Amino acid sequence: MNITGNTILITGGGSGIGRALAEALHARGNTVIIAGRRERVLDDVTEANPGMASMLLDIQDKADIAAFARDAVARFPALNVVLNNAGIMKDEDLVGSRDVAIAEETVETNLLGPIRLTAALLPHLLKQPKATILTVSSGLAFVPLAVTPTYSATKAALHSWSMSLRHQLKGSSTQVVEIAPPYVQTELRGPEQAVDPLAMPLADFIAEVMAILETDAEEVIVERCKPLRFAAENGNLAGVFAMVNGQH
């Protein structure tokens, strides 16, 4: 994709990978709008990056997504890129607990959120000369982390959905690009992850992602994520699964 001169909406843009991508894309001359539920966090990002805009969005609220999409198009008629980044990752005890609240919240955020927002924005995006829909899945879409079963499942579903959307949009002016991060130093699972030496440094991840985005790649798979992404193709799914889950 062309990574300059766009008007880009990024969900979950207040922290972690979302914020880092927002800042990298902003630095490349794009108009960037970050969205999320925490106004103070969004304000901190926009104050640190003059010219960046923000909008409040509850990605778990179907009605809010619809209203948000209408407002976003009205405020930013040149909007031509949406980056579905917002997500949550929580441990679940599938054996010892019958409470499915975490599973429901995870599906609502990680899967239905991107589906609903993309559906709401797609008519507008299809009118643009060139548009891009980006989804953020995970290396765990291909090799699940057993303690976060619904997270892993929603990312696998998002990968599959992205493939289908890409096929259905073939021949249109809108492309679909999937970014599958490995284990990265963010606070997705808590502050300890941000300093975990086993995780990929966030700055290194962003630099590699930006370089791949400049190509025509349909999937953004950094080197650190390739053992996960291609475990099945390489005939090593069981071994990689054991490695991933032996560390937790």
pLDDT in tens, 54-66: 999 999 999 999 9
pLDDT digits (tens, 9 = 90+) for 158-202: 999 999 999 999 999 999 999 999 999 999 999 999 999 999 999
Instruction: Note the pLDDT tens digit of each residue in 9-48.
Output: 999 999 999 999 999 999 999 999 999 999 999 999 999 9
CATH architecture of 7-246: 3-Layer(aba) Sandwich (3.40)
Burial class (CB in 10 A: 0-12, 13-18, 19+), 208: middle
Instruction: Reply yes or no on whether 151 is catalytic.
Output: yes
User: Has residue 214 got a pLDDT over 50?
Assistant: yes
Helix axis angle, 62-75 relative to 113-125, nearest 10°?
30
Task: Give the pLDDT band (50/70/90) at residue 216.
Answer: confident
Q: Which of 68, 142, 151, 183 is catalytic?
A: 151
Q: What is the pLDDT of residues 90-122, one digit of tens each?
A: 999 999 988 999 999 999 999 999 999 999 999
